[in-house]
Structure 1
Amino acid sequence: MNWTDERVEKLKKLWSEGLSASQIAAQLGGVSRNAVIGKVHRLSLPGRAKAGGTAPATASRAPKRTTSAPRAPNYAARATTRTVTRAQGATVVREEVEIDTVEEMEFVPASNVVVPISRRLELTQLTERTCKWPVGDPLKDDFHFCGNDSPDSSPYCNYHQKLAYQPVSDRRRAAR
């Protein structure tokens, strides 16, 4: 298949209108999609317009979030705009991209939390009514269990229950 001047002009026109390589190949006839792509690159044609009239710079950008998801309490999110360049086809496109950045905030512990003093029990000293919360590294000599009194149906004392059993909504909020 020879690329005549008329066929090249038709290729350029269809490419600028935003048709896909497959659609252009079908309209030209006697040429494959890959042949169209190869000719476009050899001609160094600019990135084509997307169907629907959107600009190529915004077509590849991720959609903006309209709602802000709750974040972990020690992080703050803010949006910044950065100009980036990237290749689209045979051209380089410059676009402004909105980026969610996260900055670490200072952690201020709650002042009304009472941490119980552990009774420092070993495994053999635990009973049904003692807290079985492990404290420290099991491979070290100072490893022990909390040992405070636990309610009837729990292996942990009231304080360690709050750490171990978090409502699903709190866990989802902390994971984001």
Structure 2
Amino acid sequence: MSWTDERVEVLKKMWGEGQSASVIAKELGGVTRNAVIGKVHRLGLSNRVTSTTAKPAAKEKAKTQAKAKPAAPTTPAAPPQPAAPAPETMRVTPPAVRKIIPAGQPLPPQPSANEISPEALAKVSEVEKTAKKISLMELTEKTCKWPVGDP
């Protein structure tokens, strides 16, 4: 299967509408969900906004299913407490914003997992000063066999 211009346009249109990769794959035919996701990333379309609310069709379906099923008897809940009025000085802070890097762009430098903080190095130095250093021939099943120093 090759990505023709027409198939790419359908992919872009459906992705922009918020369709899932599975739905797009079924619509296109002859392509897997993973192939759709890969093409989306190569095209740089991965920055679409996802909403936390369900689509209108999904809401309608959920409502009709809820009406069709009889509700299970539940114990009465405590009466709701009135919410305290929010002070006018309070401000709502937006959620943390992550910078999304487009596909094909190099990632910014990351700290190495092997780097040790100066505080940790100071602790290691203190332990090394008080450690009893013995030769391999002096080791027994009761002695610590952890090496001291930087390998």
Say yes or no: TM over 0.5.
no
* Greater percentage in strand: 1
Q: TM-score, normalised by structure 2?
A: 0.38
Q: Which has the larger Rg?
A: 1
Greater relative CO, 1 or 2 (CA 8 Å, sep 6+): 2
* Greater percentage in helix: 2
